[in-house]
Structure 1
Amino acid sequence: MKNKMKKVLNLTIAAALTLAVVACAGDQQKKEVFIPYPNWSEGIAMTHLAKVFLDKQEGYDVEIKPIEPGPIYASLSKGDADVFLDAWLPYTHAEYWERFGDKIDHIGTAFAGGTTGLVVPSYVTIDSITQLNDYVDKFDGEIIGIGSGAGIHKNTLKAIEEYDLNFKQVTSSGTAMVAALEKAINNNDWVVVTGWKPHFMWARYDIKYLEDPMGVYPTDELRILARKGFTEEFPKLAKFFSNFKLEEDKLYELMDAVENANDPLDGAEQFYQNNKAMVDGWWPAEE
């Protein structure tokens, strides 16, 4: 009798362990990944491309969501988000990296030539930030900026102070900034905006940076960051993101496709189909 009860008990434990293993396997098979992104053209484009590709790979379920950069860094540091494709380091996002960097991993560099600065249409007859005060009225005393959480917003406040500019920065959004630039160009008006590369506006409009002799605006890399433990949990994805690199012309092609599509995912899908060999090549080969 005792042996029979012991056998039943062993079978019950084995069944429970089997169910636990199956449950764990099910969780693993879901392969859910959360990628937040800032509302900047290159971040939107690269994140949607990653989703389009990874949703096709081995059952990955990629959730993406627009969030301000500060909360993105905080989420990565706490493990609430998995990957961030648009970290402007080491300079523009230095404040966020100082606060959260010891709890975040750098797993790739999507683009090496990230620049920021003050941008004007090419027909504007000045070439340097030092000349802005001579034409305050032509610019209505305004620099059209983006969100206050962006590093370029903080650097523009610094530029106003360093160059003693008689200007105020208008806080808006990336979309509103581009709209103001386009409206001014259509009317041949003078406008100065906070701009950066990579951005589709460089392919769309005839514009230029104002020279920055004081070096307020740095050159950065667009780095790919991940939460601690991501590489161990998702080694294939980590390898994919380490290979995720775009030359400037390809990045503009991607941004333009995403910007002009009714749905950003449709634009990213179009880019993927046109550049399938390149993007597929980022996925690690089977060993």
Structure 2
Amino acid sequence: MKKKTWLSFLLILGLSLVLAACGGGDDGDTDNATEDTGGTSVELGQKKLTVPYVAWAREAISTHILAALLEDIGYNVEVRQVEAGPMWASVADGSADFHTSAWLPATHAEYWDEYKDDIVQVKEVIDKAPLALAVPEYVEDVNTMEDLKNNTEFGESVNWEIIGIDAGAGIMANTKKALEEYDLDKWTLKESSESAMLTELRKAYDNEDPIIVPLWKPHWVFGVMDMKMLEDPKEVYGGEGDQIYTVARTGLEEDAPAAYKVLEQYEEDYDMLEELMPKVWDEDQDVADVAREFLDNNPELVEKWTAGIK
């Protein structure tokens, strides 16, 4: 009897070890990462991610850095260049997974109010992002929004026209409101794109011609041009500035835990952005190549942003 009991125990033990070895299979749609310091497994979950972005200076950089990080840990990331409205709408309706461009509480207030029930604020990545109309420093008699009113000399020198960016951008809505708040009836706001606006700004700046445009920080322009942001005493543009958040569709944390963890751990600062933005927008380097080079040259940041994930 004792011999049979011992043989039964050995048989059960062997069967348990076989079952344990066979467990943890991959169904092809999900995957597991390494264990983190807390001893819990961080799963990839869904492997395909869609990330929309607007081709603004900072947003292109941050989007491609995150896309490269996520590709490195096992995701298939589709990056889509869109306008601001579709960027927000696609994350809210679940056809895209996250974006890095939520300027809150002021600039994107309308989008947030419309979509906040379907979007999660993952993390604040920039704590101060001021916006304003801006002119070159050599425009001496324009320093505040109030200086634009009845300023015939400056107004006529630029045909009473502010060279704007894409129509759906929050700063465009702020500027339209500012024209009303400051009674700037003679002024008009021209819709274009950031790249078109910057082309006109560069041309005017190189010739020391007058020009006025909407600008924001962080932006590479301030590293290569001597510009000043007009004071906004009525705080139409949000006072000292917005904060910039990464936001995700509802359910992303459950569907792609490792991706969500990267978004939570990712950080930016002005030094980093001011190093990278001119390479793309002033030196015309490919943004994906700039992002990859930055990650290759900064393994300590990669380790920090992907901590706990294989």
Query: What's the TM-score once normalised by structure 1's chain length?
Result: 0.88
- 1:115 matched to 2:130? The reply is yes
Question: Which letter maps to 2:179?
Answer: I
Unpaired segments of 5 or more residues in structure 1?
1-20
Among 217, 224, 230, the residue aligned to 2:252:
230
Question: Which letter maps to 2:306?
Answer: W
Question: Which letter maps to 1:90?
Answer: P
Aligned partner of 1:25 in structure 2 is 27
- 1:181 matched to 2:196? The reply is no
- 1:273 matched to 2:302? The reply is no
Give me the whole-angstrom Cα distance separating, in 2, the residues matched to 1:46 and 1:265.
10
Give me the whole-angstrom Cα distance separating, in 1, the residues matched to 2:107 and 2:299.
32
Among 135, 158, 173, the residue aligned to 1:154:
173
SS of the residue corresponding to residue 136 of structure 1 reads helix
Give me the whole-angstrom Cα distance separating, in 1, the residues matched to 2:302 and 2:121.
20
Aligned partner of 1:245 in structure 2 is 267
Larger radius of gyration: 2
- 1:256 matched to 2:278? The reply is yes
Q: CA deviation at 1:111?
A: 1.1
Q: CA deviation at 1:261?
A: 4.6
CA deviations 1:195-239 (Å, max 9, x no partner) are: 111111111111010111111111111100111110112222212
CA distance 1:139–1:261, change in 2 (3 Å): closer
Write out the 4+ residue segments of structure 1 that deviate beyond 6 Å after TM superposition: none
SS of the residue corresponding to residue 179 of structure 1 reads helix
Give me the whole-angstrom Cα distance separating, in 2, the residues matched to 1:258 and 1:197.
16
Among 215, 222, 245, the residue aligned to 2:235:
215
User: Which structure has the highest helix share of the two?
Assistant: 1
Unpaired segments of 5 or more residues in structure 2?
1-23, 32-45
Q: CA deviation at 1:110?
A: 1.8
Query: Contact 1:77–1:227 (CA<8 Å) still a contact in 2?
Result: yes
Aligned partner of 2:146 in structure 1 is 130
Q: CA deviation at 1:284?
A: 2.6
CA distance 1:286–1:140, change in 2 (3 Å): closer
SS of the residue corresponding to residue 281 of structure 1 reads helix
Give me the whole-angstrom Cα distance separating, in 2, the residues matched to 1:244 and 1:214.
34
Q: CA deviation at 1:139?
A: 2.3
- 1:62 matched to 2:64? The reply is no
Give me the whole-angstrom Cα distance separating, in 2, the residues matched to 1:262 and 1:97.
33
Aligned partner of 1:96 in structure 2 is 111
Among 85, 100, 106, the residue aligned to 1:85:
100
SS of the residue corresponding to residue 122 of structure 2 reads strand
CA distance 1:121–1:279, change in 2 (3 Å): farther
Identical pairs, percent: 38
